[in-house]
Every structure is written in structure tokens, then in C-alpha cells.
């Protein structure tokens, strides 16, 4: 997932992809301007969240999605639990998973500090 804030270039790529689904839309001629506006309006999202919300809004609209629809789709996606967001999740997130993640994070931080890879990273 991309944790960067939406910028004009990234938003433009997403809007260009959506525009392919709406060839008669008047917005297509102004994608460059729209990308800047959409990026400013969605600064509270990451680029990955923006892309997911834009695609969700596009899937649920017969027209080119506007900022309001993208923000509503983002709110909807944020309300879903992490298990619902994982495609084909076979098991729920457990405390054991969280514990392993914490331990691995500590090992990665230590590896960054010392330059020595943890055993599970070596191949």
C-alpha cells in the first residue's frame, strides 16, 4: 500500500484509468486540472486509500466520480474491518498474529540499527 499523500501525478494516473470507463465524459478533457483539485481535497487519505476509494466510487456510479463520491467511498472503506479488506481472508486476525507482528517489527528496527538481518530474513 502506498502511504504517501495523494499528489497531482498519482491522482492523474487514477483519474486516467477511470476516464477509460467514461469515454463520453466532459471531465476527460480537464483531467490535469481535476487531478490537482482531487489531490488537494483528499489530503487526509494516503495515495493507496485514494485509489481504492476512487475505484469504489467509480464502480458504484454511472458517471465520472466526483470528490464527494470518492470521500464517501473512503469513509465506507474505513468502516470495514481489516479482515473484510483482505481479499480471500481465511482466518481472523488473532492476538498471536499481533504478537508476531510486534516481534518482527522489533527485529526489523534492530536490524536497521545494527545492520544485521534477523534470522527469518536470511536466505
**CA nearest 70: which of 42, 102, 35?**
42
Q: What is the pLDDT of residues 12-64, one digit of tens each?
A: 999 998 888 887 777 777 888 999 999 999 999 988 899 999 999 999 988 89
Residue 96 pLDDT level (bands cut at 50, 70, 90) = confident
Domain that holds residue 112: 90-123
The number of folded domains in the chain is 2
Q: Is residue 2 part of a domain?
A: no
**55 and 12 in a common domain:** yes
**70 and 94 in a common domain:** no
Q: Is residue 20 part of a domain?
A: yes
**38 and 12 in a common domain:** yes
Angle at 95 between CA 109 and CA 44, to 5 degrees: 65
CB 59 within 8 A of CB 19: no
Quick one: three-class SS letters along 57-78? Answer: HHHCCCCCCCHHHHHHHHHHHH
Q: Which residue is listed with cell 536470511?
A: 122
**57 and 104 in a common domain:** no
**12 and 45 in a common domain:** yes
Q: What is the pLDDT of residues 80-93, one digit of tens each?
A: 756 555 554 556 66
**109 and 70 in a common domain:** no
**96 and 67 in a common domain:** no
Q: Is residue 84 part of a domain?
A: no
**57 and 29 in a common domain:** yes
**114 and 63 in a common domain:** no
User: What pLDDT score does 94 carry?
Assistant: 75
First to last CA, the chain: 25
CB 49 within 8 A of CB 56: no
**96 and 51 in a common domain:** no
**Rounded to two decimals, what is the model's pTM?**
0.61
CB 63 within 8 A of CB 22: yes
Amino acid at each position: 500500500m502506498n502511504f504517501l499523500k495523494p499528489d497531482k501525478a498519482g491522482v492523474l494516473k487514477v483519474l486516467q484509468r477511470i476516464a477509460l470507463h467514461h469515454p463520453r465524459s466532459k471531465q476527460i478533457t480537464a483531467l490535469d486540472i481535476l487531478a490537482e483539485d482531487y489531490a488537494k481535497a483528499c489530503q487526509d487519505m494516503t495515495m493507496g486509500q485514494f485509489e481504492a476509494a476512487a475505484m469504489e466510487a467509480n464502480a458504484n456510479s454511472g458517471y465520472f466520480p466526483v470528490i464527494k463520491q470518492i470521500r464517501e467511498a473512503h469513509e465506507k472503506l474505513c468502516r470495514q474491518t481489516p479482515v473484510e479488506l483482505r481479499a480471500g481472508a481465511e482466518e481472523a486476525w488473532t492476538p498471536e498474529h499481533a504478537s508476531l507482528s510486534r516481534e518482527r517489527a522489533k527485529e526489523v528496527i534492530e536490524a536497521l540499527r545494527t545492520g544485521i538481518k534477523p534470522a527469518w530474513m536470511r536466505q
